[in-house]
Amino acid sequence: MSDATNHVERLRAGAGLAGLPKARPWAFLLLAAATWLVLYANLPRVASGLTGLLPLPRDGRLADAMHFFLYEAPKVLMLLTAVVMVMGMINSWFTPERTRAVLAGRREGIGNVLAAMLGIVTPFCSCSAVPLFIGFVQAGVPLGVTFSFLVAAPMVNEVALTLLFALVGWKVAVLYLALGLLVAIVSGWVIGRLRMEKHLEDWVRDMARVAPDYTPEHLTMAERLEAGFQAVREIVGRVWLYVVAGVAVGASIHGYVPQDFMADLMGKDASWWSVPAAILIGVPMYSNAAGIIPVVEALLAKGAALGTVLAFMMSVIALSFPEMVILRKVLKPRLIGVFVGVVSAGILMVGLIFNLVV
């Protein structure tokens, strides 16, 4: 039984067990959306009220930090839940089987562009890196095309873009989308040009090639609702602690870090080494878009340069140390080193150039 068939069977079983509305799924969606909008619209009032109940000086730094936390934490979690729910439903069309079928046989160049764009709408993260990588190799997807997907999927995903849009504006979100796709496309193309297939682990390189077999399955609206709920359980359930931690760090920066200090350290007129330093700090960190974006918002509010902050965010999401450990199962150290070096160079160029022109 194929991956796609298994996926459909799980959704159908889940839809029955969860008691999802099968007769009127659209009415359920409208009611849920209206409830979400009412709650979201009242978050500022609730945060202010809760902060006022705390025994803190009204104009103190701690009160300012607490207000930031009490507003941003539920705001980010609500946005994350809504985005993951909607994208979980949309992603019921994008199984791993279908993604492999789309990318199989694509030549470099066009394949890199297509792989990076698919990374935006496919719900894969670092924990999926090894099975996805193996599946792509078996399907005959070129190595460089595979790396374009592996860079774009965690870095330029729907969660990152939606939260950036909500927290720091559409201009930054569009900019991040363009720069993230550029880094993914160019990095994958460069790795493909280096012809490093021999640096795959032997057992991966010697696997028999399997032609991708994707048969479209038709799901009901109730089953797509179950796909959305399943995505919320898996993704939000896994990252909510990182969200809270990220908002707590952002609240600390917002309330206690002097603006002049942050401008001197990461501002536009800071030393040339601010962007490389931001990348070096970001690479060993383990977070995701949902956890790091509240920190990005706080850094920008304190006067940090946009290019430096975007470089920091990209390095945290695209080059996390745990992902490198996972990829070690299928890649030899030299190829991992090239991957980190090429992507880091792309992020470095993005940060430096952007700080110069903005």
Token representation of residue 308: 């430096």
When pLDDT is cut at 50, 70 and 90, the band that residue 127 belongs to is: low
Token representation of residue 342: 């090429």
In this predicted model, what pLDDT tens digit does every residue of 27-79 receive, in sequence order?
A: 888 888 899 999 989 998 999 888 888 887 777 788 888 888 888 888 888 88
pLDDT > 90: what percent of the chain? 4
Output the CA–CA distances (angstroms, integers) from residue 111 to 146, 148, 339, in the order listed: 9, 9, 18
For the chain, the domains span 1-93+220-239, 107-211+257-358
Residue 54 and residue 78: Cα distance in Å, rounded?
Answer: 24
- How far apart are the two ends of the chain, measured CA to CA in Å? 53
In this predicted model, what pLDDT tens digit does every residue of 294-321 receive, in sequence order?
A: 888 888 887 788 888 888 888 888 777 7
Residue 17: its pLDDT value, please?
A: 41
In this model, does residue 110 exceed pLDDT 70? yes
In this predicted model, what pLDDT tens digit does every residue of 175-189 receive, in sequence order?
A: 888 888 998 899 989
In this model, does residue 95 exceed pLDDT 80? no
Share the mean pLDDT of the chain.
Answer: 77
In this model, does residue 19 exceed pLDDT 60? no
Residue 1: its pLDDT value, please?
A: 43
Residue 208: its pLDDT value, please?
A: 65
In this model, does residue 276 exceed pLDDT 50? yes
In this model, does residue 98 exceed pLDDT 90? no
The residue with greater pLDDT, 20 or 284, is: 284
Output the CA–CA distances (angstroms, integers) from residue 70 to 76, 268, 278, 287, in the order listed: 11, 30, 28, 21
Residue 4: its pLDDT value, please?
A: 46
Residue 190 and residue 182: Cα distance in Å, rounded?
Answer: 12
In this predicted model, what pLDDT tens digit does every residue of 142-181 receive, in sequence order?
A: 888 888 888 887 778 777 787 778 777 888 888 888 888 9
Per residue in 137-156, is it b (16+ CB within 10 Å) or e — as a string?
bbbebbbbbbbbbbbbbbbb
- Cα R_g (the chain), whole angstroms: 22
